[in-house]
Amino acid sequence: MNDFVIKDMHLGNIDDVVKIEYLSFNTPWTYEAFISELTRNKVAKYRVLLKNERVIGYYGLWLLYGEGHITNIAIHPEFRGIGLGKMLLDDILSVSRENKMHALTLEVRVSNHIAIKLYKKYGFIEVARRKGYYSDTGEDAIIMWKYDI
């Protein structure tokens, strides 16, 4: 894992981030959404995972009222299955601790079994479901929380 580094996202990363977003999600965030998050959202923290200066993953985190909300997290399909999601989650936990967060939350599709398994391994628990949350399929979202940051 020495070839990989995580850094704060900057505007020059957004093209690559949006490509990964479109490869990863049925309802991807737009270029403009990421611009807005980086330039206007004062509680947002966005980080990129780089391999040889190439963006291969990223995450978004809102830090507010002592709670972190993971807005998105993705790894380029070519690099999945080698532990990079864990690397991003470790960084999320580190950033959350640095910012004195006491809990983390996220939403995940009920069909995203790989992500759910990883989140549970990190101590996230299912606390609720949002029926029909995802507009593209009507799929439910699982709301997960981790309280022991």
Q: Which residue among 22, 107, 126, 139 is the active-site one? A: 107
> Measured between alpha carbons, how far is residue 49 from residues 31, 52, 67, 127 in Å?
18, 10, 23, 29
What are the start-end ranges of the E strands in the chain? 4-8, 44-51, 54-64, 67-75, 103-109, 125-130, 141-146
Catalytic residue flag (residue 119): yes
Q: Which residue among 31, 65, 119, 122 is the active-site one? A: 119
Q: At which residue do the structure tokens 């950033």 appear?
A: 95
Catalytic residue flag (residue 37): no
Kindly list the catalytic residues: 107, 119
